[in-house]
Amino acid sequence: MNAKEYLADPCKASSLPFWKAETINIPEHMKVLRDDEFSNCKYDGFDDQYFRLIHDLKNLKEAVLPDRFELVQCEEKSFAEHINSCYEHEHLSIEEMLAYKSHPVYDPDLWVSVIESDSKKIVATGIAELDTRIGEGVLEWIQVSSDYRKLGLGKYIVCELLIRLENKADFVTVSGRVANKSNPYALYKSCGFVNPVIWHVVTT
């Protein structure tokens, strides 16, 4: 797959952002199938489903930070600790977070964090990436602490990153697990993402 093929329909062309699709080798015990391919075949194994969505960076929604919260800068350690606290099976190290900064798609302006004003506790974080070769922005990490969900913080993080990408990228993609209890699909749709494509990661 080349850039032209990918850009024709990013969500349908690949389960991954273009830069990752170029570099990641899929293990032999794993198959990644688009929903229309999966429906026409039978595969034995565990099926984990992911959605991909795209935003054209037009008609962006305002990023509204709820009262009693502040946008701040924080270090890699704080990002790792917050991400790990939001997901049951994530164990990111500081070294892994630092490695993100060596990626060709790293942009320091696309790392955002929110604290509760009184406690100074980090309650929401987001990391986006930018592939300047093809104009693709990617929402890589979006998370809100469990006790602070349903307050508009997730929507703020997403909208803030889209605004920061508006003059840098031509479009933005995002993916997430279909079975995620926090329903990120609904969040991204509410922020203007469209064109859903389901991908199946089948592990044997």
Three-state SS string across 132-182, please?
A: CCCCEEEEEEEEECHHHCCCCHHHHHHHHHHHHHCCCCCEEEEEEECCCCC
Alpha carbon distance 92, 7 (integer Å): 31
Whole-number mean pLDDT of the chain? 94
The residue whose two tokens read 């003059």 is 167
What tokens appear for 167 in the block? 């003059």
More confident residue, 43 or 185: 185
Looking at the predicted structure, is the pLDDT value of residue 43 above 80? no
Reply yes or no on whether the pLDDT at 44 is more than 80: no
Residue-wise pLDDT tens digits, 124-168? 999 999 999 999 999 999 999 999 999 999 999 999 999 999 999
Residue 25 Rama label (left phi>0; alpha psi -120 to 50; beta): beta
Label residue 80 exposed, middle or buried (CB < 10 Å: 0-12, 13-18, 19+): buried
Q: What is the pLDDT of residue 56?
A: 98
Q: Is the pTM of this model over 0.85?
A: yes
Torsion of CA 168, 92, 124, 129, to 10 degrees: 10
Instruction: Give residue limits of the domains in the chain.
Output: 3-203
Select from 13, 15, 5 the least CA-distant residue to 174.
Answer: 15
Rounded to an integer, the average pLDDT of 182-203 is 94
- What is the structure's pLDDT at 47? 84
> Domain 3-203, what fold?
Aminopeptidase (3.40.630)
Among the residue ranges 39-43, 128-132, 191-195, the one predicted with the least confidence is 39-43
3-state SS assignment for residue 19: helix
| Rounded distance between C-alpha atoms, residue 185 and residue 52, angstroms | 9
Residue 6: φ, ψ to 5°: -65, -45
pLDDT band at 30 (very low <50, low <70, confident <90, very high): confident
- For residue 36, the model assigns a pLDDT of 86
Question: Each residue of 45-88: pLDDT tens digit?
Answer: 788 899 999 999 999 999 999 999 999 999 999 999 999 999 98
CA distances from 98 to 95, 137, 202 (A): 5, 20, 30
